[in-house]
A = this chain, B = another copy of it.
Amino acid sequence: MESKGYHVAVVGATGAVGQQMLQTLESRNFPISKLTLLSSERSAGTKIFYKNEEYIVKAAKPESFEGVQIALFSAGGSVSRELAPEAVKRGAIVIDNTSAFRMDENVPLVVPEVNEEDLKLNKGIIANPNCSTIQMVVALEPLRKNYGLQKVIVSTYQAVSGAGVAAIKELEQQSQAILNGEEFTPSLLPVKNDEKHYQIAFNVIPQIDTFQENGFTFEEMKMINETKKIMHMPELQVSATCVRLPVVTGHSESVYIEVDKLNVTADQVKQLLLEADGVTLQDDPAQQIYPMPAYCVGKNDVFVGRIRKDLDQSNGFHMWIVSDNLLKGAAWNSVQIAESLVKLKLV
């Protein structure tokens, strides 16, 4: 079976992440014997090419998963909550890119560079973490392993593609309207179903997802809780401020951490990250080398730079972490989980 490949389903095949999943499966040459492309009723009938072959996207139903071995879900939480159990019932392993099951204690939440072994505990569903969380833990794991980790304070600089194709369009249309001196009415960001919508072009919105009782947004709580779960550190101190920017793709993060070990140098941290899986170190201030979203788009790695020791706290470090939110933040991490499942003979 393995030589021929697997029956793979992509749920949400017409969305921003679904498109990237297909491109990633193709570029990685993932072993596929049969490909089923699924979507909402609304997008059913769309034609998509995969490896020069035309596929017609079908509306996702419980029966769609008959015979499917690996199902990649990225069609929103409610679709996953409804159909992921149906897929599992029919024998598929689900890799879910929504927040539906991430904090479920029976569901492993996996970033292969950090906790690939957790895949062995899966009961059919594996959750792909939030985009902002993934890129941060990839950069922090080598430090945790070598120096211990006590505290993380992150401020994010997030791209609109995290809110889907419609948000990209809104940014582009608003930008053009402002450059033309024309009127416009924001209708999508920060949160489609919230009451108020704000300008995103040439602006900054300090709200991603809805507000929780404690004053943090759900996006911020995702970063906090998911980081602890992935790293197996319920005691880790994490806080986050999540901010939406007029950038199409590529999330950036300004991260402050405190490690356990004293007297670690910035050069030691750089050396660790230079050798770390999935990380590209871009850190040479004298040459103005540091990561930026516009130059990270389309790349699978997590880019880290601006690493420097805090001026007061001897175990404190600052760093700047950038990655393509549609790739390592979503599609690539999902496909990477599928590759790990194959490698560990779990599928």
A202 to B245, CA, bound (A): 8
Q: Identify A247's interface contact among B203, B238, B241, B305, CB under 8 A.
A: B203
Q: Identify A206's interface contact among B172, B195, B290, CB under 8 A.
A: B290
Pair B285/A215 contact, Cβ less than 8 Å:
yes
Most buried by B among A190, A207, A295: A207
Kindly report which residue of chain B lies nearest to residue A285, judged by CB atoms.
B211
A27 vs chain B, min Cβ distance (A) = 24
Kindly report which residue of chain B lies nearest to residue A266, judged by CB atoms.
B215
A1 interface residue, CB < 8 Å from B?
Answer: no
Q: A207-B290, A238-B312, A243-B254 are known; give 7 further A-B pairs, CB within 8 A.
A: A157-B245, A202-B248, A203-B292, A206-B291, A215-B307, A215-B309, A237-B311
Pair A204/B241 contact, Cβ less than 8 Å:
no
Size category of the A interface is 35 or more
Which residues of B sit under 8 angstroms from A123, Cβ to Cβ?
none
A287 to B195, CA, bound (A): 8
Q: Identify A214's interface contact among B171, B195, B239, B308, CB under 8 A.
A: B308
A239 to B266, CA, bound (A): 15
Kindly report which residue of chain B lies nearest to residue A308, judged by CB atoms.
B215
How many copies of the chain does the oligomer comprise?
2
Pair B256/A306 contact, Cβ less than 8 Å:
no
A239 to B252, CA, bound (A): 18
Which residues of B sit under 8 angstroms from A294, Cβ to Cβ?
198-199, 202-204
Which residues of B sit under 8 angstroms from A248, Cβ to Cβ?
202
Which residues of B sit under 8 angstroms from A245, Cβ to Cβ?
157, 204, 245-246
Which residues of B sit under 8 angstroms from A241, Cβ to Cβ?
254, 306, 318, 320
Give A306-323 as 1s and 0s: 1 = Cβ < 8 Å from B's Cβ atoms.
111111110010101010
A258 vs chain B, min Cβ distance (A) = 11
Pair B246/A246 contact, Cβ less than 8 Å:
yes
A203 to B246, CA, bound (A): 8
Pair B204/A252 contact, Cβ less than 8 Å:
yes
A246 to B200, CA, bound (A): 11
Pair A247/B293 contact, Cβ less than 8 Å:
no
